[in-house]
Amino acid sequence: MDEHYKRYMRMALSLALKGAGRTSPNPLVGAVLVRAGRVIATGYHRRAGEDHAEIEALKRAGSGARGSTLYINLEPCDHQGRTPPCTLSLIHAGVRRVVAGMVDPNPLVAGKGIRRLRRAGVQVDIGLLEAECRRVNEAFIKYIIRCTPFVVLKLAASLDGKIATSTGDSRWITDQAARRYVHRLRDQMDAIMIGIGTVLADDPELTCRIRGGRNPLRIVLDPQLRIPLTARLLHGADPEKTIVVTGPRAPEKKVEAIQGYGATVWRLPLSAGRIPFGALLKKIGKMGSLSVMIEGGADTAGRALREKVVDKVLFFYAPKILGAEGREMIGALRIRKVSQCTKIRDVEVKKFGPDLLVSGYLK
């Protein structure tokens, strides 16, 4: 396909990303209707329960949709959920052709939408910019197949891999551009996860501080329920989005006090005194959350890597050196040989002001 087709699909992908953090458990989808070489309408899925991308575009196009081509990053749905099947709306609107980036991995769809459209005489092409389309919906793809969220490990460190000085001071290792990007990530993620050590050391709010942004769920791993009742996570913006995960023997009075501030407490069986990631991620997945970003600290990062739950890493490196006495960015991985190391694939490097972001995938 020529560059015009790719341009329309990239437009659909840009539209899809506008819904990031707001559509779960649904995918991110953007739609572009084109007729006679001109874009006549666009749409994207804004929130779960609201119009799908193609429906929004069809409503904007009206009768002009007849004879048009739809560019969409994901196969149109063909099942009744919170909204009717999009395939029927496309057929009734007279759309002549559908160019979809990828087949929907959802077993309720998985090619059914394509078949329905083709049986109705609509030309369907699949696979335009498929790799880019899969990247945009990487969290949805994992969730719909495994019923657990996509896990991102985000860390900020000095060039020699330290996240704080020996006294625990970590403000600010990275510069403003990198920190702004982290707030954009929080806006797009369903949940942020930290260990109790980070709460005790930094007393973070874990809010999104960009205009128009929304705060994700904030999950604290706290096996012995050590979180101070004065913690900002319990008293700041929307404390009802704070979930404290603790063990079965946590004191009931403190649980009640935490819940009295509006937060939620989950009790999970412990494994060697720690919250097991497997059970926790399944519980998060049952809530319909597609993505979780682990933000700290070193112990939590090390355990997540040891338990092999991390899908993607985002490591920010500042051009600073803190030395051997600084605090390590990742806890013990129990690796004795280089051949046992955790390998990262599809590595990318981007610059944010003076800082570097190194990203890549583990699976």
SS3 of 174-193: CCHHHHHHHHHHHHHCCEEE
CB 133 within 8 A of CB 126: no
54 catalytic per annotation: yes
Within its chain, how far is the Cα of 291 from the centroid? Answer: 4
Tokens of 170: 């970590």
Cα–Cα distance for residue pair 134/139, rounded to 1 Å:
9
- Tokens 């572009």 locate to 32
Cα→Cα distances 49→6, 26, 43, 76, Å: 29, 9, 15, 16
Signed CA dihedral, 79, 85, 87, 88: sign only: positive
Tokens coding 332: 């013990």
Q: How many angstroms separate the CA atoms of 336 and 349, rounded?
A: 28
Spatial separation of the C-alpha atoms in residues 100 and 96, rounded to whole Å? 13
Catalytic residue among 3, 54, 130, 132: 54
- Provide the annotated active-site residues: 54
